[in-house]
Every structure is written in structure tokens, then in C-alpha cells.
Chains A and B, each alone.
Chain A
Amino acid sequence: MTPALSVQGFTLDYTTRHGTRRVLDGVDLVIAPDEVVGLVGESGSGKTSLAWAIMRHLPRNAHEVAGHILLGVTDLRAAGPRAVNALRGRRMGMVFQDPSTALNPTLTIGRQVTEVLTYHRGLSGAAAWHAAVDALRHVHLREAEALMRRYPHQISGGEKQRVVIATAFACQPELIIFDEPTSALDVITGARILALFAELRRQTGVAALYISHDLALVSRVADRVAVLRDGKVVEEAAADTVFRAPHHDYTRRLVDAVPRPERRLVFDAPGEGSLLRAEKIAVRYARRRLFRAAAPPATHDIGFAIRPGEILGVVGESGSGKSSLARALTGLAAFSGGIQFAGRTIAGPRDMDRDYRRAVQIVFQHPDASLNPRQTIGQILSRPLRLYGGDPRSVPALLEQARLPADYARRHPHQLSGGEKQRVAVARAFAARPRLVICDEITAPLDVSVQASIIALLLALREAHDTAYLFITHDLNLVRQIAHRVAVMRAGEMVDLLPTEALSGAATHPYTRELIAATPVPAGT
């Protein structure tokens, strides 16, 4: 039987200012009809380049050195621009990572879905319209007729991804490439998209290449998994074997780095008393304007206490108010309510004195944004030392504590990798000798192996300084590994606050149970 897609010895170079860089090196990949192959790799491993090579949309500085890409029996590398245009959308489709940028904001949903149908299936007018409505119904979008007339910004992220999927499936292609289709969505919406994908797959028997950095997720979606590292396929096996019996060293490291809720990393109990107590914290962003009513608050009257040395996990989907809570506690957002700290009540950012700011530090999600690109690492680290009366000469010690070489002090942030930058951000927080560090999704943009090393660093620092963490994340598996207690947030409210062991019990909020059910559990457990 002819495979739906076969990539043979494909080698790809990028020409940059600093010379030629090999992105893909002799990649072999075969996808049979009706098969889903997962492609797993960390950032920079070349997985997206492979997707674009298959879709024939490579950047201008790409240079194909060797190999073949066959879609069925068609040689894609030999196809001219006109032939490729006829293939895209008709015989192969693509679903992108971020649905909010994959749809054109100035066209209605109807226009964007019917466009594919008119172009590839030759439908026109009412026929195309009806086919588009059918396609949207097929991906379980309610009120498809009304949706056709809306613009992308008027529908939710999950709905947008369904529209993109409907468009990709509209012409019954032979192959669909999914490029991390759920990573921009929150856990529950992502789980529903995956259920939809499984259903469409059963109905249409489409072959798919599913690209992701998330091994746990891929092992549940795909039949076979190929592991890509530095442009080479290092391992290819059935999905559950990859997890249970990884062959290659690299795969084993990846599998070990995947957070598993049952493997605890923290064993001690937190201290007694309370370090910081938040009382009825409500954050409101936009104040009432002349012609506009006030926006609803980002958090409603949240109250909790953190014990010394405790790790309190905060989970919830995007927009649930997790980050607003962090911003209130660090004085970045105005809030009502009070914070009890060191025997006094803080009613607003103005009450936060130097002692409070020193004791409560924050690490942000994106190290690219939180480190000033125009300052050297040394300048960045010495600033809190000067501000809070530390010794500026202890920068090398800080770097060593964060397991970074001392000569990094002279470098600029853009010369460091993502994980190294996040270590610098952690080191900056610890330069203030804090008692509480707020970690706002600090591992979200990082690869699993880097994520695991950052977590190890945080736990080591906690061991040495007895620091408490407010650990904000959307990764329930990770939080169950390290947190003493977990707070679940939804639409600005804290719906649950319980010890981690009680999370899987019955006495939880329905939303918490839904969240746990939607979280992908690593295969082989």
C-alpha cells in the first residue's frame, strides 16, 4: 500500500549571516493512510521546519540539500508553485498552534471557510455556504449559521481552533499536519479539541502528522512517535513503547523529565504560623470612564495564607485571575482588601515598603521580557543587591548558586538560552534574600528537560534558604509533584484550596474534577 506521506533522507540547511546551519539531517518518516504519527522534539529540533517543508512553504534562506518528500505518489519537491497551490488545502491541510493568528481578523468566519470550498471544490454561492455550515456543524460548533457571519475576535479561542480544523478537513485531504494545536489553549478546551480530533479521525481515516513538544500528550494521540533531536530522528516506535521502554538515551531523558503527579519531589512539611495572609484581595483593571462602565474585577475577594517555606500551587485556565493575584501581591496592580505581612496590614501598593518588596519577589513567565535586553547579566543581578543593601561583589556567587558560569556576568540576555535566562531571573529574585517568591508560569515557555532543571534549582534554593513559593501554573501534573497545597482558580474566584493529596479525592469543586480529568496523564503509568 502506498503511504500517505513518505519523507526519505530529507536534509535541510538554513543560510544565515553566521554561515550555514543544518536544520534537518537525513530525516526518514513514513505515515500510512489512516495513521497518526507524533513528532516530538524540543524547541530548535527542526520539527516545525519539517512541517513547512512538507507544506512547501520554506523561508527564502532555506536550502534543500537532499532527499524526497512524497505525498501519495506525488513528488512534492518536484511540484511547481501552481501544482503546490492545487495540493495545499485540497490534498494536505494544516492546523496551526495559535488559532487567533491563523484566522484573518478582517474577514468573517464564513468567508474564510467558503474560500477553501470555492477554490478547491469549485462550489459557488449558496452551495459553498451550505457546505461550509455543514463543515462547521461537523466540528460541533453550535449555531453554525450565526457563526458564519461573525469575525474571529467575536468567538472564543476553542471555537477558533474548531473553525481552523473544519477548514482543514473541509476538502477531505489525505494528510493533515497539526502543529501543537492545543498548546495555545487552556487544558479543558485543549482536551475537547483532542476528543474532536479523535472523532474526526475515526470518521475520515485521515493520515496525520502531530507535532508537539509534549510527550505525554503525543503518546495519547498518536499511533507511532518519532523523536527528533537536532534535526535527526533518534527514535521511532509505537506510542506506548516509547514511554514504557525508551530506547535512546535522549528519549529516556525526555520521558524522565515529564512531570508525573505520583512522583513527589517535596517531602518536608511547611513551617508553622503564616508568612503572608491575603484577605479579600480584589483586582480591578479599568476604572470607570466617562462613557464606559467599569470592567468586572479580575479577581473577587480572594483570601488565603502562606506558611513559611510552603509551596502553594495556583492552577486555573488563562483569564482565571492567577496572574492578577501575583500582580496584586507585588504591587503591580491596584487592589482592594489587605495583605497581612510581618505584623502589619498592607492596603495597597503605596503601603509596600522596602522590607516587604525585598521579602516578596516575583519571577515572570517570559525571561526574554523580564530581563532588560540592554543590560548585562551582571548589571541585572547587582541591581537588587544595591537596592536592598547587599554586596554588589556577590554577583559571581549568585550566578554559581543558579548553576551558571561566572563569566556570564558580562553577557547580554540575548546571548543566553531560554533556560539560562530563566535561571538569571531566579537568581535576581534570590539576590534580595526573599521569604516568598511568586513564580508566575515560569516553566511554561520552556522545554520539559529545561523545565525539570529549573524545578530542581527552585527546590535546591528552597532547601538552602527556606523560601516559600506561590507557584502559579496551568500544569496540574507539575504542581502535584511539588506543592504542599493547591488552590484552583476559575473566573477570578478561588474555588478550591486543599492539600495536594486531597486533590484527587471526592470532596472537590466540580471544576477541579473537570480540570483533573482534562489533564493528560503520561502514558505507561
Chain B
Amino acid sequence: MTDTLHRLLRTPQGMLGLVLLFVLLLACVFGPTLAPYDPDAIDFLGRFAVPGARHILGADQLGRDVFSRLLAGARATVPLALAATLLGAAAGAVIGTLSAYLGGLWDEAIMRTVDAVMAIPGLLLALLLVSTFGGGALNAALAIGIAFAPGMARVTRSVALTARQADYVSAAIARGESGGWIVLREMLPNVAAPVIIEATIRVAFAVMLFSTLSFLGLGAQPPLAEWGLMVSEARPFLHQAPWVIVVPCCAIALTAVSFNLLGDGLRDALNPRDEQ
């Protein structure tokens, strides 16, 4: 574990990704405390204040400080995107490994179902699920997790198929181990590396998807300072006060980029062929 971290820090992408994520973590934990203003405090005289000494990143249509809202919003955006990805990755990894282990007709049945679900675009599926379950941040996270599971299942299955052929799985079958043990204890730890890498890349998608749902009014509800919601609310004033929309957009992009960088770094660090 420490060895992996060490190798991760030696790759430039991994290093940069980790630094950016650390900043993000600080924003999630201490965001509201660090914020110079109350993120929800309305100030009619300070509407559309230009970024400057008073408001570092300006103020929005209600005079709320954009920088404070950005810091407070990290907590509403990033943890839920992470949770959604973890849910999707865990479900997908188990389904994919199980499918590879069962093989034959079961494999066909599971993977064709997965294909059918994958045929629906992720956003559309998430929209469908949210409109079924009802809106709200938690439901949006759940919907994103479900939308991610088929893709993760595909990735996992392709790796698990090679693990299925390995002699340690044969040895477990010959020993008379149960299917659950073989899938969870013998195969899953050996397919973890690619799943972790794929998941870090998908966190970025989750942030964007979550923002998109909020933007469409199906995720977080106003007046919460969620980044996607901030973009959505600032849209009518795009020409009047561009900073109000540009700032949360940049935050979303930067989060996506930092998770992508971490994923790239992990791909190199977890590659056992780089042992030498």
C-alpha cells in the first residue's frame, strides 16, 4: 500500500492529481469555516459585484459571495459524486466477476442485460431513474451509481475472465470452495487494480453528471450552494456577469481533471510490470 503511494508520487500526473485532490479535500472539510462570508447571505446592494478586493471572485445575482458559495458547495458536490462512483464500482465489480466466474449461459444472460442497460446513455438513464424515484441529492447519487454499474461490470469482466483461467481459481474449485468465496475472496482482489483506476476516472464523470442533474433541477435544490446548481442559476446573467458562471464551471473542470490525473497516475503505479 505505502509502496503504491510511493510509486504514485513519483509519476508527475499522480503527484499533481494528489495535490489538487488534497486542496479539494480541505475545501470539503473546512469549506464553510474558511468562507469569508455566509454563502447564503443576500446583499441587494452588492448584486453582480465585480471580482475585486471585497469579493475575490465577485458576487451573484442576489449579491451572494461566489467564493464562499464555491467553498461551501464543494461539500455538496464532491462527496456525493464519490459515493455514486463507489456504489457503481462496487456493484459493477461484483456483477462482472460473478459473470466471469459463472460463465456459459449465465455469462451471456448477465452481459446481454448489461449491454441493454448500456445502450441507454448514462445521463438519460440517470434522468429516468431520478424522475422515477423523485429528485434530491441522494436519489441523484443513487441514479448515477446505477448508471455507472454496467460499464464497470464490462471492464471488470474482461479482467476477471483471465483470473477465471488462473490455476488458483481451479485449485479453489477442485478444493470444493463455494461460489461466493471464489468470487469475493479469490477473484475480486485480483481484479481490483483496473477497477480502482476505472473508478477514479469515473469520479470525474460523476461530478459532471451530478452537476448536470442539478443544472436540470433534478439534483440538489436551491438555495443549496451546489456547483451545478450555481451554473444553472447564473445562466440568465451570462452576459451581465460572466464570472458567476465561469467560476463554478472551472471548479467542476478542475475536479474532473484532478481525478483523471490520479487515475492516470494509479494506472502506472499499480502496473506490476513496472516492478523493476
Of A16, A17, A354, A369, which one neighbours B167 at CB under 8 angstroms? Answer: A369
Q: Which of A117-125, A243-251, A371-379 contacts B (4 or more CB under 8 A)?
A: A371-379
How many residues belonging to A are interface residues under a CB distance threshold of 8 Å? 27
For A432, list chain B residues within 8 Å (CB). Answer: 175
- A331-B173 contact in complex given A16-B276, A61-B276, A366-B167, C-beta closer than 8 Å: yes
B176 touches A354 (CB 8 A): yes
For A364, list chain B residues within 8 Å (CB). Answer: 167, 170-171
B190 touches A370 (CB 8 A): no
A370 touches B276 (CB 8 A): no
- A372-B174 contact in complex given A16-B276, A17-B276, A364-B167, C-beta closer than 8 Å: no
A374 touches B171 (CB 8 A): no
For A372, list chain B residues within 8 Å (CB). Answer: 168, 186, 189-190
> Is B166 interfacial (CB-CB < 8 Å)?
yes
Interface of A is mostly: loop
- A384-B175 contact in complex given A369-B166, A372-B168, A372-B186, C-beta closer than 8 Å: yes
A428 to B168 alpha-carbon distance, docked (Å): 12
Interface of B is mostly: helix
Interface centre among B177, B275, B276 (most CB of A within 10 A): B276
Within the complex, the shortest CB–CB distance from A332 to chain B, in Å, comes to: 5
For A327, list chain B residues within 8 Å (CB). Answer: 170
Which residues between 268 and 286 of chain A lie within 8 Å of chain B, taking CB atoms? none
> What is the interface residue range for chain B against chain A?
10 to 19
Within the complex, the shortest CB–CB distance from B204 to chain A, in Å, comes to: 28
Which residues between 370 and 398 of chain A lie within 8 Å of chain B, taking CB atoms? 370-375, 383-384, 387
For A365, list chain B residues within 8 Å (CB). Answer: 167
A16 to B166 alpha-carbon distance, docked (Å): 29
Which residues between 307 and 342 of chain A lie within 8 Å of chain B, taking CB atoms? 327, 330-332
Interface centre among B166, B170, B175 (most CB of A within 10 A): B175
Of B173, B175, B190, which one neighbours A383 at CB under 8 angstroms? Answer: B175
A357 touches B168 (CB 8 A): no
> Is A184 interfacial (CB-CB < 8 Å)?
no
For B276, list chain A residues within 8 Å (CB). Answer: 16-17, 61
A331 touches B168 (CB 8 A): no
Of A352, A373, A428, which one neighbours B190 at CB under 8 angstroms? Answer: A373
- A387-B177 contact in complex given A374-B189, A374-B190, C-beta closer than 8 Å: yes
A337 to B266 alpha-carbon distance, docked (Å): 50
Within the complex, the shortest CB–CB distance from A374 to chain B, in Å, comes to: 4
For B173, list chain A residues within 8 Å (CB). Answer: 331-332
Nearest residue (CB) in A for B7 is A17
A366 to B171 alpha-carbon distance, docked (Å): 12
B174 touches A370 (CB 8 A): no
* Complex interface bits, B156-187 against A, C-beta within 8 A gives 1, otherwise 0: 00000000001110110111110000000010
Can you list 12 pairs linking A and B with CB atoms under 8 Å apart?
A330-B174, A331-B174, A332-B173, A332-B174, A357-B174, A357-B175, A369-B168, A372-B168, A372-B189, A375-B189, A383-B175, A387-B177
